[in-house]
């Protein structure tokens, strides 16, 4: 056999089985994770605990937001520009609740990934099917 065709140090043929280490070049990229987080955050924003536009959540957003963010809203209302005030209020509420929903989505997706099979990360393998 020709020595040039034998696998050597660093060749994939000499690597041990994939165990899920994040620095392994065979590890999946995080694009799927980011898409899953965005999708989950969008779902959470329609759930009662995170929707910006139910009375309790809107009240929380207003109470937790500082005066500098509320002052433009007050100025628009004082000027009688209710359409612009409504848009400002919507931006304020979304700006408060979207990061909270994203953080919760990240927590949920990471918890699901941690509980998945270390070998295939929940994509399905013989080991998963045996369990």
- pLDDT by residue for the chain (131 residues), tens only, comes to 566 677 777 777 788 887 877 777 777 766 778 888 999 999 999 988 898 999 999 999 999 988 888 899 899 999 999 999 999 999 999 999 999 999 999 999 888 877 766 666 666 666 666 55
Terminal alpha carbon distance of the chain = 42
Alpha carbons within 13 A on the beta-carbon side of 23: 0
Q: How far is CA 54 from the centre of its chain?
A: 22
- Whether the model clears a pTM of 0.95, i.e. scores above it, the answer is no
Residue among 131, 41, 8 at smallest CA distance from 49: 41
- pLDDT for 3: 60
The whole-angstrom separation of Cα 26 and Cα 34 is 18
- pLDDT for 116: 65
- pLDDT for 81: 93
Query: CB–CB of 54/18 below 8 Å?
Result: no
- pLDDT for 60: 92
- pLDDT for 65: 86
The residue assigned the tokens 């998963």 is 128
- pLDDT for 125: 66
């Amino acid at each position: 056999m020709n020595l040039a065709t034998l696998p050597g140090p660093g060749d994939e043929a000499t690597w041990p089985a994939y165990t899920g280490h994040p620095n392994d070049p065979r590890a999946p990229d995080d694009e799927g994770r980011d898409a899953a987080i965005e999708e989950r955050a969008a779902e959470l924003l329609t759930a009662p605990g995170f929707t910006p536009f139910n009375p309790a959540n809107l009240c929380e957003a207003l109470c937790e937001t500082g005066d500098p963010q509320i002052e433009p809203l007050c100025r628009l209302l004082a000027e009688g520009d209710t359409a612009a005030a409504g848009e400002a209020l919507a931006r304020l509420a979304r700006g408060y609740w979207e990061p909270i929903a994203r953080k919760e989505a990240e927590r949920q997706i990471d918890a699901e990934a941690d509980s998945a099979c270390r070998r295939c990360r929940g994509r399905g393998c013989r080991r998963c099917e045996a369990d």
